[in-house]
Amino acid sequence: MSGSRSVFLGALLALGVAILQEALVRLVEASGARDQPAVILVLLLAAFLGLLTAVVVRALRLPGAVAPTVLVIGWIVVPPLLKAIPAPVTHSFASDASLTAPDAVALAVAVIAAAVTLGVQRER
């Protein structure tokens, strides 16, 4: 497994995670959920995103540490980078760089879900 392949696919996955996370948050906002129900929905969707990321990492045969790294980079680093690109398309997927308390908890849930998924042994 080449390191450059892992870095390239990890960067693509981080971009995908950032876009999917923003889409999930907008979906929750569009549903009309407020306060606690919205936080619970975001947590559930974040856990699903973590599981999905872990499955994709395993399917691509990338090192296991790539999944949590991709989630953290996709939530913290990619949004300000997308905001820096002067195009309306990237601004629609770029969120604020600072994490609120619910965002931080959702990120932690996603990372734990990815780590647990990668820790489960495959059937042979």
Tell me the two tokens of residue 31.
């549903």
CA geometry: angle at 27 spanning 91 and 33, to 5°?
125
Poorest-confidence range of 3-7, 14-18, 85-89? Answer: 85-89
Predicted confidence band at 13 (pLDDT cuts at 50, 70, 90)?
A: very high
Which tens digit of pLDDT belongs to each residue from 49-97? 999 999 999 899 888 888 888 988 888 888 888 778 887 777 676 666 6
CA geometry: angle at 14 spanning 109 and 38, to 5°?
40
Residue 121 scores a pLDDT above 70: no
Say if CB 95 and CB 43 are below 8 A apart: no
Which tens digit of pLDDT belongs to each residue from 22-49? 888 888 888 888 878 888 888 888 999 9
What's the mean pLDDT in 3-21? 89
C-beta atoms surrounding 42 within 10 Å: 22
Q: Give CA–CA dist 28/69, Å, rounded.
A: 25
